Amino acid sequence: MEARERRAAGTTRLIRLHEDDGCLDHEIRTTPSERLEAVWGLVLEYLAWRDPDAGEPRLQRSVCRIERSRR
């Protein structure tokens, strides 16, 4: 299913900050792994939108060496 189709099939609700009573948090019953999977899907969708030719995301690898001078 394409991202556009997923968005069209989804339900949205606008809750202003001063109107939030926390009931939405109790309505959504998901496990932590389901939430993580959903967030990862959003990350992949964002990365595809930002750079379609990027491929699989990778961790940044940086190396730094600090030496203390001896007096």
Tell me the CA distances in angstroms from 42 to 6, 18, 35, one per residue in order: 12, 27, 11
Domain containing residue 10: 3-50
**Domain-located, residue 33:** yes
**Domain-located, residue 68:** no
- pLDDT of 53 over the 80 cut: yes
- pLDDT of 24 over the 70 cut: no
- 41 in Cβ contact with 34 (< 8 Å): no
The mean pLDDT of the chain is 80
What pTM did the predictor assign? 0.46
The pLDDT of residue 27 is 65
The two structure tokens encoding residue 67? 């030496």
In the block, tokens 């990027």 appear at 54
Q: Please calculate the CA angle 55-62-60 and round it to the nearest 5 degrees.
A: 25
In total, how many domains does the chain have?
A: 1
CA distance 24 to 16: 12
